[in-house]
């Protein structure tokens, strides 16, 4: 069973911040108002808290999700203030590339399950309010590409 001790501190930080980067990227390109944003944030939290059966990565995903909750609570939104949507998405994708580097150290099946879970978080966020728009779909495809998840 792979756990946090398998990764360096930087790798673990990248893995546990990845759900936030996915959420941030999809929310940045969404067409929403305040109620939609609450729905999207709730969808992200649900997708993290209830990842489903992702054998062989269940325990690893549970540990990542637990740490991710803390990152979300501490995340400083001011670092994204004034940036364009594209800059915000690009910054999130850079963070996801770091998570991909950490995932590449895992057995392929386990890495694929964690990466698919990240993409599913993006899909949950995109579909939470008014359905998935074209920019959200494109962003999810880019997230999948960075993480090595084939398009569906």
Half-sphere exposure of 92 (CA within 13 A, CB side): 29
HEC sequence for 65-133: HHHHHHHHHHCCHHHHCCCCHHHHHHHHHHHHHHHHHHHCCCCHHHHHHHHHHHHHHHHHHHHCCCCCC
Per-residue model confidence as pLDDT tens digits over 133-152: 999 999 999 999 999 999 87
Geometric angle at alpha carbon 53, from 149 and 116, rounded to 5°: 10
Q: What is the mean pLDDT of residues 28-47?
A: 88
Task: Report how far apart, in Å, the C-alpha atoms of 113 and of each of 29, 60, 132, 146, 152 are.
Answer: 25, 10, 23, 14, 15
Q: What is the mean pLDDT of residues 55-73?
A: 84
pLDDT score at 85: 81
Q: What pTM did the predictor assign?
A: 0.91
Mean pLDDT of the chain: 88
Residues whose CB falls within 8 Å of the CB of residue 48, separated by 6 or more in sequence, listed in order: 19, 65, 68, 69, 121
φ, ψ (nearest 5 deg) of residue 118 = -60, -45
Q: What is the mean pLDDT of residues 96-123?
A: 96
Closest CA to 105 of 29, 35, 37, 6: 6
């Amino acid at each position: 069973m792979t756990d946090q001790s398998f990764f360096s501190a930087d790798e673990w930080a990248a893995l546990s911040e990845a759900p936030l980067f996915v959420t941030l990227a999809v929310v940045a390109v969404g067409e929403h108002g305040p109620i939609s944003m609450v729905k999207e944030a709730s969808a992200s939290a649900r997708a993290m808290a209830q990842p489903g059966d992702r054998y062989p990565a269940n325990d690893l995903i549970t540990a990542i999700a637990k740490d991710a909750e803390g990152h979300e609570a501490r995340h400083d939104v001011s670092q994204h203030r004034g940036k364009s949507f594209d800059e915000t998405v690009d910054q999130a994708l850079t963070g996801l590339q770091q998570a991909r580097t950490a995932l590449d150290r895992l057995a392929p099946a386990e890495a694929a399950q964690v990466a698919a879970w990240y993409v599913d978080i993006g899909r949950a966020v995109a579909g939470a309010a008014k359905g998935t728009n074209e920019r959200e779909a494109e962003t999810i495809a880019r997230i999948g590409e960075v993480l090595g998840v084939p398009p569906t």
